[in-house]
């Protein structure tokens, strides 16, 4: 390969190959698909099908959340310092793929002696959450930051996120669409359900592994001097835009986790037509794609995020107040679809800007540290969302020994409240929080242009150190 050194750097539009965009997005979606099944069904599986007490399940989620206080930020820091021929992130994706597939499969298998014993089921759920999450962190966090390793401009990143949204929507919706077909109603139905999960785990692991041969990381980030852990952590929280981002990110993940957890309980107990509701969710997804992906560049991240939060909140409030009326609930699901799609696309763009701001402040690219801290916050949001929903339905009298659809009117009300009250309020509050988000306007665009120039120069210098010359 021949490179020609130029005297002046002429910036050209950053373009990521289509196959790279598709494979990295497909791998991300494969991991997200497993995660969606976990978040949607694991509590329902252990409580309604296995008979685990809902309070014990909620406690397991809260205890597990503490693990993320060490696991996620530390892992992000480690990946930032990783050096290999493959890059900083790809080794964790490639070699973690078969392990996360195995851990996912083991989630749905009976452990010896755990069929009826409450303590044994509690320990299985807790141990599973720790084991699976360790591998999920390794693979998912590396995939999460790959677009920032592959591109710097919002337009180039957006071309990756477009495919990530398409695949992520599938990963989010597919489990819901399949729920009626695979969800066991009795223990006799479990073998089919378990075989399905085994096949899914194998296919997802294979996709993630193969994907690593179709994209690559830029050279300059992994050659830079690394900042000590505590200093890196301190610098992260000096970035005011990161604080705003974490408030938004926590809320979005809390809402997503709560919605996924509540769906099987809501549709089973209130006997709502799941497929019809998902059809209106799909309408909202289409509107969200048009509004945020196609038109979002014109609005900018800040304005688009505020619009998304307002619509998302409105959808939750509609279901909260009218969740027993199917026609009005369908309108609420349109709002949910718009909000979920907007969040999938806008959160990564916002995160990319926050990381760029950090580089402008510190001179370092620290995607791993940011991903680690963000993952800690968001995954604890999942834990809280699961726990809060389960605690609320217990307060309203949920009886784990009743068949689906047999809970009282009071419990049905508790399911709706536990499902939608806090998401509706939190999303509305975040709409106002976004008003203080600073990364917008012409000055920020100038900063982005300056960073693009710096990145180009670093790439040239690194190639030269490695014995190459540079060509556009």
Q: What is the DSSP string of 283-298?
A: HHHHHHIIIIIISHHH
Full residue range of the structural domain in which residue 418 is found: 18-440
Distance CA 108, CA 92 (A): 24
Contact 309, 431 (CB under 8 A): yes
- From CA 379, how far away is CA 250, in angstroms rounded? 8
Residue-wise pLDDT tens digits, 94-149: 999 999 999 898 888 877 766 778 888 898 888 887 888 888 888 987 887 788 77
Report whether 294 contacts 387 (CB < 8 A).
no
Q: Quick check: 318 pLDDT over 80?
A: yes
**Residue 226: closest CA among 377, 371, 368:** 368
- Residue 143 contacts residue 204 (beta carbons within 8 Å): no
Tell me the per-residue pLDDT of 280-313, one tens digit each, with 9 for 90 and over.
988 998 899 888 877 766 788 899 999 999 999 9
The pLDDT, as a whole number, for residue 325 is 94
Contact (CB, 8 A) for 134 and 71:
yes
Q: What is the CATH number of the domain that holds 212?
A: 1.20.1250.20
Output the CA–CA distances (angstroms, integers) from residue 5 to 8, 196, 219, in the order listed: 9, 54, 17
Q: pLDDT band at 195, cuts 50/70/90?
A: confident
pLDDT at 8: 43
Instruction: Show the tokens assigned to 112.
Output: 């010896």
Residue 3: pLDDT above 50?
A: no
Torsions phi, psi for 127 (to 5 deg): -65, -40
* pLDDT single digits (tens) 456-466: 777 666 556 64
pTM exceeds 0.95: no
Give the pLDDT band (50/70/90) at residue 44.
confident
Per-residue pLDDT band for 187 (boundaries 50, 70, 90) equals low
CA within 13 Å, CB half, 463: 18
Three-state DSSP at 456 gives: helix
Distance CA 155, CA 354 (A): 16
Contact by Cβ (8 Å): 208, 31: yes
- Nearby residues of 50 by Cβ (< 8 Å), 6 or more positions away: 115, 121
Is residue 467 pLDDT above 70, yes or no? no
Residue 468, in any domain of the structure: no
**Length of the chain as a residue count:** 472
Structural domain includes residue 466: no
Tell whether 455 is covered by a domain.
Answer: no
Cα–Cα distance measured from residue 131 to residue 136, given in angstroms and rounded to the nearest whole number: 9
Please give the average per-residue pLDDT across 355-376, as a whole number: 75
CA distance 404 to 412: 11
Tokens at residue 165, please? 């949204």
Angle at 164 between CA 162 and CA 170, to 5 degrees: 110
The whole-number pLDDT of residue 108 equals 84
207 within domain boundaries: yes
Residue 373 to residue 358: CA distance in whole angstroms: 14
Q: Residue 359 — very low, low, confident or very high, per pLDDT cuts 50/70/90?
A: confident
Residue 445: inside a domain? no
| Rounded Cα–Cα distance for residues 352 and 216 (Å) | 18
Determine the distance from the C-alpha atom of residue 118 to the mean position of all C-alpha atoms in its chain, rounded to a whole number: 31
Decide if 78 is inside a domain: yes
Domains of the chain: total: 1
Helix (H) or strand (E) holding 451: helix 442-465
Residue 11 maps to a domain = no
Q: How confident is the model at residue 11 (pLDDT cuts 50, 70, 90)?
A: very low
Looking at the domain assignment, is residue 173 inside a domain? yes
Core vs surface per residue 235-247: b (16+ CB within 10 A) or e? bbeebebbebbbb
């Amino acid at each position: 390969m021949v490179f020609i050194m130029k005297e002046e750097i002429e910036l050209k539009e950053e373009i990521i190959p289509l196959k790279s965009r598709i494979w990295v997005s497909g791998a991300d979606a494969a991991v997200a698909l497993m995660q969606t099944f976990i978040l949607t069904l694991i509590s329902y599986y252990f409580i309604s099908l296995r008979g685990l007490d809902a309070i014990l399940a909620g406690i397991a989620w809260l205890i597990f959340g503490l693990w993320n206080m060490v696991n996620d930020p530390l892992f992000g820091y480690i990946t930032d310092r990783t050096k290999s021929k493959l890059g900083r992130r790809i080794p964790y994706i490639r070699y973690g793929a078969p392990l996360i597939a195995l851990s996912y499969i083991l989630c749905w298998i009976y452990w010896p002696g755990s069929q009826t014993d409450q303590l044994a089921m509690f320990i299985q759920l807790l141990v599973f959450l720790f084991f699976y999450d360790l591998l999920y962190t390794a693979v998912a966090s590396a995939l999460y930051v790959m677009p920032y390793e592959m591109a710097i401009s919002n337009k180039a990143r957006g071309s990756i996120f477009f495919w990530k949204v398409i695949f992520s929507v599938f990963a989010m919706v597919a489990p819901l669409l399949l729920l009626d077909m695979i969800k066991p109603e009795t223990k006799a139905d479990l073998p089919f359900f378990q075989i399905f999960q085994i096949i899914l785990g194998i296919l997802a692991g294979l996709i993630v592994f193969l994907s690593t041969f179709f994209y690559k990381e830029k050279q300059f980030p992994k050659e830079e001097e690394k900042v000590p852990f505590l200093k890196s952590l301190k610098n992260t929280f000096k970035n005011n835009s990161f604080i705003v981002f974490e408030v938004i990110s926590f809320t979005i993940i809390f809402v997503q986790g709560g919605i996924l957890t509540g769906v099987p309980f809501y549709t089973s107990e209130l006997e709502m037509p799941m497929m019809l509701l998902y059809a209106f969710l799909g309408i909202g997804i289409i509107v969200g794609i048009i509004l945020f992906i196609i038109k979002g560049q014109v609005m900018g991240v800040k304005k688009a995020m505020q619009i998304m939060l307002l619509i998302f909140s409105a959808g939750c409030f509609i279901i909260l107040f009218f969740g027993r009326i199917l026609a009005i609930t369908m309108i609420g699901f349109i709002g949910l679809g718009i909000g979920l799609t907007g969040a999938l696309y806008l959160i990564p763009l916002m995160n990319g800007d926050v990381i760029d701001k950090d580089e402008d402040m510190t001179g370092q690219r620290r995607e791993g540290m940011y991903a680690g801290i963000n993952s800690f916050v968001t995954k604890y949001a999942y834990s809280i969302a699961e726990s809060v929903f389960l605690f609320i339905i217990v307060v309203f009298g949920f009886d784990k020994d009743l068949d689906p659809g047999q809970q009282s009117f009071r419990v049905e009300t508790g399911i709706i409240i536990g499902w939608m009250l806090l998401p509706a309020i939190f999303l509305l509050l975040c709409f106002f929080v976004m008003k203080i988000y600073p990364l917008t306007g012409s000055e920020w665009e100038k900063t982005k242009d300056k960073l693009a120039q710096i990145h180009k120069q670093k790439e040239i210098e690194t190639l030269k150190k490695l014995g190459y010359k540079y060509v556009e």
